[in-house]
Amino acid sequence: MKLKSLITIATLLVCVQGTMAQPKARLKAQAEAEKKTETSLSERAKAQYTAQMPAPTDVVWKRDIYRTLDLTKEKNAALYYPVEPLGERVNLFTLVIRLVADGKVPAYEYRSDGNELFTEDNKYKVTDMLEKFYIYYEEKDGHLTINDSDIPSGEVLSYFIKESSFYDQRTATYTTRVTAICPVLHRSGDFGSDVTKYPMFWLNYDEVSPYLGLTPLMTSSYNNVSNMSIDDYFVRSLYEGDIYKTANLQNKLLAQYCPNDTSMKAEQQRIEKELITFENKLWGIEEPDTTSTATDKKAEKKATRSTARKGKAATAEKKATAIEKNETIEKKTSVRTARQRNAPSSMSTSGGQTLSVRRQRR
């Protein structure tokens, strides 16, 4: 009897413990699920801070353009200043190198062909990249720290960017968006020798854009309000960049098939015009008749030259007439003077004497 009672009591204790353990297990599982949910929400929230929509993959037309942004130009200076952090304000490279060092954004190697390749195999090991470009860092407990004074943001004087212009037939929209960014170091050699440019790494714009959307940017010296983000700056194409390459079958730079600066400038203008012409044709905008305009300009120039020639001829004719008049007047004056010299000063008759006296009185 006692044994049965003991078994019953033990069974009840096990049941009670199991009943108490089940809520704990459920609470633990629920906490883990909530943690996962919070993580996924934070990832989704990041996407809300970018104004740029992902590019569709099934478009009917696309053109990839590579540009170089010179930060010494006024339109691009907003990406360069402040060179050193000023409160919450940082320039683009300071922000980027911090994100890469913290492991928030991957950096991809700049390949010898200059093309971007956003694959796992092409990802930079952060420490290798920092050592390659002689950027001092400290590592503690697997965390990299770079002091502001060791970030060479003053030497990053240009960026390479890749633009994709495409027509989305599903939404009937024509869009130009930045897809990749590459900071370029400008370093001079010993004793101030020629400056050498070092492309550092490629960044996938879709991966870095949420952080760019959280970083304010001041674009004007007259209005010091930071009323936009770095992401807004790129999405609105407020930068100014020269084309140095287009995606082509031979993967050639413009410098490889343009023999001089003049031909390169002409090629850049031709490519820019192609993009504008394609967009205008989409919306049915007629291109101006450059042939008739050129003809009209030639005719106008001819008319101007003809008028100028007529004006010169009329001026020459007036000068000739004036010279003839002056010559005639001079001849008449010389004849009168000669007559007066040859005339006698007095007459032998009384009338002549009177005339001579009268002249003297006058």
Q: Output the CA torsion 193→195→196→197 (10° steps).
A: 170
pTM, full prediction: 0.68
Considering only 34-38, 79-83, 102-106, 144-148, which range has the smallest mean pLDDT?
34-38
pLDDT score of 173 more than 80: yes
pLDDT at 33: 47
What is the DSSP secondary-structure string of 145-186? E--GGG--GGGEEEEEEEEEEEEETTTTEEEEEEEEEEEEEE
CA–CA gap between residue 55 and residue 57 (Å, rounded): 6
pLDDT reported for residue 4: 52
Using the Cα atoms of residue 292, residue 294, residue 295 and residue 297 in order, give the sign of their dihedral: positive
Instruction: Please give the C-alpha separations between residue 85 and each of 90, 149, 186, 234, in angstroms, as whole numbers.
Output: 5, 10, 20, 21
Share of the chain above pLDDT 90, in %: 48
Task: Write down the pLDDT at residue 27.
Answer: 46
d(CA 181, CA 234): 11
Cβ-count burial 76-89 (b if 16+ within 10 Å, e if not): bebbbeebeeeeee
Is residue 202 scored above 60 in pLDDT?
A: yes
